[in-house]
Structures are given as C-alpha cells and as structure tokens.
Structure 1
Amino acid sequence: MGAGDVIAQQLVERRGLHGHHVPRTLKMMAIGFCFVGPVVGGWYKILDQLVPGTTKVVAVKKMVLDQGGFAPCFLGCFLAITGAMNGLSAAENWSKIQQGSFTTVSFSAQIWPPVQIANFYFVPLKHRLAVVQCVAIVWNCYLSWKANRM
C-alpha cells in the first residue's frame, strides 16, 4: 500500500520529493497493515472453505465470488476508511463512496478476474496473498490516487 501511494504521488500526480505528502503514505501503509492484509488473507481462507479444490471450474467459481461479492464490499470499506482517516464527515464520506465506487469496481473488474483465476488455479493458499500483492502494487497506486483525489 505504501509503495502504491509513493508511485501514485510521484509518477501519477508528479508531486516531486518536496511535494510528497508523507502522512498520506503512512496512512496508506497503516490501512494495508491493519485492514487490507488481514481482511484479504482471511477472505482467501474462507473462500477456500466455501469452494474447496483447484480445478479450472473451482477457480472460476472463486473468482466470481471474489469479484462479484467480496470486491465491491471491500472497496466500499476501503474508501470509507481512507475518507475517515482523511477527516471527512460521515456525509462527505458517503458522498465520496457513492461517487467513487462504480468506477473503482469497474476498473477492478478489468484487472482482477484473470489474475484471480490464475491465482486460484495455480497458487497454493499460503502464497495467494503474496501473488496478489505483486499485482497490487499497480492496483494500490490507482486506489491511493482515487481515494485521495475525491
């Protein structure tokens, strides 16, 4: 999460080293450590219990549950947490979630389905979070940019 935020600030927003907002990076790191890692790791364990196995059909079922059920809820919570950490009121936060959820979920649906099918089919449970985090460097850059521009 921290690396994604640094990339967002430096390459996307072009803030430069003097314009880098360190508290924002620290907030994103905290969200990653306290929310993203535990929640996504726990979700993969639950998903493996709900849909056991590693066949192609099982991988597709897991991806559908992941992207159709988990991802929208997770992204809404992520936007709410970043809004709260940025000092938004409940009304401002709700407005931000309503504005950003559709485009964020739509972009997620373009990136994650092929990654997750491969992840669920080829990668053992204990390594799935690591695989996701490799792809998530780019995804977290987008999330940081999206969450902090609204």
Structure 2
Amino acid sequence: MRQFVFGFGRCLGAFSQRMFGQRLLLANVAISTAMGLVGDGVQQHYEVACGFQDHFQSRRSVHMGATGLTTGIVTHYWYTFLDRWWQGRTPKVILKKVLYDQILFSPVCLTVYFGTVALFERPNLNEFKEELTDKGGIVYLVEWMVWPLAQTINFYYLPLRYRVMFDTVISFGFDVFTPYIKYRGQRPTTSTSL
C-alpha cells in the first residue's frame, strides 16, 4: 500500500510538472473554462431552486465556459507580460503589478468576458456597450473589494505557473456572481439546445 501511495504521488507530481510547466497555457485555459462552467452551474442551480428560472439552461453554461476559455487565454498572457516587464517581488514592483492589473487589465478582461457572451447572443453594438457599461461597471466595482489583496498575495507568494490557477480559484466567486449580474431580470427561453 505504501508503494502505491508513493508511486501515485510521483505520477501526480510528474503530471503536475508537465501541466504547469510545458503545457501551462493548456492547464490555465482548462481550469478557467471548467470554473466558468461550474460557477454558472452553481448560479443556475440557485436560480432554479429559488424559482427565478424554470429550468437549467445548458446554452448559457456553454457561454460561461467559453468566457472562461477566452479570459483564461488573456490572463495567461497578461501574467507572463507582467513578470517580464516588472521582475522581482519588492513592495514597489508588487504595487505596480496590482495597480496595472486592476486599472488596465480588469477592464480588458471584463470586455473580453462580455464580448465573448455577445458573440453567442448577438446583441447590437449599442446593447453590448450598454451592458458592458452597466453590468461590467457593477462587476468592476465589486472587483476592487477583492482583487487588490488577492493579487498582492498572488504576485508576492506564487510563481508564474500557478498564478492563473490561484486567480481562477479566487474568481470562482465571480464565476457565480457575474452570471447573476449578466442574466438578472431576464427570463429564460424554453430552449436548452446549444
């Protein structure tokens, strides 16, 4: 039994090294996509249980998974850029990374999020702009309560290869909250097809 446990541990370690080393982009995108799906699933379960919607909408979950995919890609490259541009873990470097992340990248990431959903739902440009401003603005304000501290921890303690994973774990709350903001007040259609 002991050999099995140690052997399993070695295999898990080798898998982790491969995924968070050679295949880091794939790992980051897979984790972000999965969390987008799960977060929306949790939110929809709540909405159905409370009677806010009649049934689970698989199409909506696919849209949220796609947002995880696109934001996962963008976030992966953003963290790589930040580490190349500002190296080190001094308080000054961490402060710069946190401020650039919150002031520059967060609006970009929210635009990617709402833009991805817009590709599926096909609103006109004015509807997209209005939704990005109104709903994206709410999410952005809430992000200021969470992300500066979370990113300080992320940039100070974690190596680059684990940053998107940490970001995604913290984002789980937003993966539940953002679909709520995105879809609140909208009654679902009866179609559950993709």
Establish whether residue 133 from structure 1 lines up as the match of residue 168 from structure 2.
Answer: yes
Counterpart contact for 1:4–1:141, Cα < 8 Å? yes
Q: Return the match for 2:88 from 37, 53, 58.
A: 53
| Structure 2 unaligned residues grouped into runs of 5+ | 1-35, 187-194
Question: In structure 1, what is the equivalent of residue 142 of structure 2?
Answer: 107
2:55 corresponds to which residue? 19
For 1:78, give the aligned amino acid.
Y
Looking at structure 1, the residues matched to 168 and 175 of structure 2 have their Cα atoms a distance apart, in angstroms, of 9
Residue in 2 aligned with 1:8? 43
1:60 CA drift (Å): 1.7
Deviation at 1:18, TM superposition (A): 6.5
User: How many Å apart are 1:15 and its aligned residue?
Assistant: 4.9
Partner of 2:21: none
Between the aligned residues of both structures, percent identity stands at 24
5 Å-filtered alignment, 1:39-78, equals 39-78=74-113
Gaps of 5+ in 1: none
Pick which of 74-83 and 101-110 moved more. Answer: 74-83
Map of 1:28 onto structure 2? 64
After superposition, the CA RMSD in angstroms is: 1.9
Instruction: Give the TM-score, by structure 1 length.
Output: 0.89
Tell me which of 82, 98, 102 is aligned to 2:117: 82
C-alpha separation in 2, matches of 1:15 and 1:107? 25
Q: SS of the residue aligned with 1:20? A: coil
**What is the aligned residue count?**
148
The structure with the largest alpha-carbon Rg is 2
Higher relative contact order (CA 8 A, sep 6+): 1
What secondary structure sits across from 1:53 in the alignment?
coil
SS in 2 for 1:54: coil
Q: Point out 4+ residue stretches in structure 1 off by more than 3 angstroms.
A: 14-18
For 1:115 and 1:132, locate their aligned partners in 2 and report how far apart those are by CA, in whole Å.
Answer: 8
